[in-house]
Structure 1
Amino acid sequence: MTGENAILLRTTGLTRKFGGLVAVADLNLEIREGEVLGLIGPNGAGKSTTFNLISGFIKPSSGSLEVFGRDCTGLSPTTISRLGLTRTFQHGSYLRTMTVRDNILIGTVHWLAGASSSQRMKRVEETAAILGLTPHLESIASSLPHGLQRLVSIAIAFATRPKLLCLDEPLTGLNQTEVGTTLNILQSFRRDFGSTILLVEHNMKAVMSVCDRIVVLHHGRQLVTGTPAEVRSNKQVITAYLGSNHAA
């Protein structure tokens, strides 16, 4: 990833108010093609609101959103997702009573328009193989261990082969081995498919290891944007969020 890569998503002055509460204020964010961008901050910093704004689940109070060169301010989640932006949700994005196969198949419905059932199934099986889910395709999603359920959520989103994959705390509740497996999968998305990833995550060791740049939010405002090394050593970030044990 280089600084010359195209900007896939840009927000300008993006703001969301809930009554008298300003959840996100004047956010100027850029995501460049091929990068992994981390979005971090304390609880209540505005991360989830930002995610909902850029994916169309809530509309901004002011400011603008540009996705893949198109003004998407106020557009629906379906419209934005069909452009090539897909997302997961913090507490899982899968249908508990369906098989893993059928869950991933749902991810192909709108994005392989006109494809035959065999073509869709090929995509399902390819996606399962990438995420290590092939042995579990016929399992009911809710019967799987927590770590595999998180991978099912990612598989549904990745089945679309999105231009921009937005992951909302995908590592929550995972053990160290599962975290390593998931990070390797995310790296393979970029290496093998040229995916661009926006990652919201509280696991700082993982964020620092996988992200090219990190945006730090605090009280709904953009505190710092920089490389992991720059963020780790920034005095404002240490004070507001990381703590002295993360200092370089």
Structure 2
Amino acid sequence: MASATTTEKPGEPPLREVGLCVRGLTKNFGGVYAVRGVNLECEVGQIVGLIGPNGAGKSTLMNIISGTMAPSAGTVYLDGKALMPSSAVECAESGIARTFQNIRLFKRLSVRENIKVAAITRARVSKTVVDEAGIDELIHFMGLDAMADTAAGTLSYGHQRRVEIARALALKPRILLLDEPAAGMNEQETLTLIGSIRTIRDSYGCGVVVIDHDLHFIMELSQRLYVMHLGQLLVEGEPHSVRHDPRVIEIYLGKKQQ
């Protein structure tokens, strides 16, 4: 991926030297804007939540940040440098890894082999050998020891989600993007996932951006929240203030707070 140090643009917040900065991201399809002028930040060591109703533009924004979709305007910065990916692979090689709303594992490969695919990519970028011990650590960390040699496509939905997270972590990202990680999980699995994501932040030293529709999950997990609506950023702030913001209540409940 090409990258270049870029100066701040007038009227935009100052760029952070460490972590993810999104500035003025826009994606339009003809006259329809899926994302329009969005600014977002995630420091390394921080968990940021991104919420909004269906069609708000969350997944489109995630696709742009991860390099799977080109923006119409705006820039993604990592550690103060503008990223200009030509592919999602190049984006991952530069330090931004992700999971998907619709799980995209190699279903016929084992859990270990799925994770090793990412570890090979990381080794190629860093010009080192594949970290076999690191693969074993990820398998254990995500509670996948008993199924390490099982075909990923035969696992439960929740376990497939864990494999996908482990595979993303094998890239040793600076920023980890999680798209609907709690989807299909029961209450106990969701609570366990909250602890796992916090441990990921602390143990792997990355920033985490999470999209999810489970408001209790995202409010409990996040240190900062961004709310999108109709392609634009509506509100940002600490979870407590966002929870009680009348604009957020209106788009979720369909009525204005009295």
Please report the TM-score for the alignment, with normalisation by the length of structure 2: 0.88
**Change in 2 beyond 3 A, CA 1:74/1:190:** closer
The Cα of 1:171 is off from its aligned counterpart by 0.6
Distance in structure 2 (CA, Å) of the matches to 1:213 and 1:173: 24
**Contact 2:34–2:60 under 8 Å retained in 1:** yes
Q: Aligned to 1:111, what secondary structure does the other structure show?
A: helix
- Map residues 8-157 of structure 1 onto 2, 5 A cutoff: 8-73=19-84, 75-113=86-124, 114-116=127-129, 119-157=130-168
Task: Name the % identity.
Answer: 36
Partner of residue 223 from structure 1, selected from 213, 231, 234: 234
**Contact 1:60–1:74 under 8 Å retained in 2:** no
Unaligned runs of 5+ in 2: 1-15
Q: Aligned to 2:74, what secondary structure does the other structure show?
A: strand
Unaligned runs of 5+ in 1: none
Q: How many residues align?
A: 239
Distance in structure 1 (CA, Å) of the matches to 2:213 and 2:179: 10
Q: Deviations over 1:173-196 (max 9, x none)?
A: 111111112111111111222221
Please report the TM-score for the alignment, with normalisation by the length of structure 1: 0.91
Distance in structure 1 (CA, Å) of the matches to 2:248 and 2:140: 39
Partner of residue 204 from structure 1, selected from 215, 233, 236: 215
**Change in 2 beyond 3 A, CA 1:243/1:205:** farther
The Cα of 1:37 is off from its aligned counterpart by 0.4
Q: Aligned to 2:103, what secondary structure does the other structure show?
A: coil
**Contact 1:6–1:32 under 8 Å retained in 2:** no
CA root-mean-square deviation: 1.7
The Cα of 1:74 is off from its aligned counterpart by 5.2
Range with greater deviation from structure 2 (85-94 or 6-15)? 6-15
Partner of residue 224 from structure 2, selected from 213, 229, 236: 213
**Contact 1:17–1:23 under 8 Å retained in 2:** yes
Q: Aligned to 2:100, what secondary structure does the other structure show?
A: coil
The Cα of 1:134 is off from its aligned counterpart by 1.0
Distance in structure 1 (CA, Å) of the matches to 2:122 and 2:37: 33
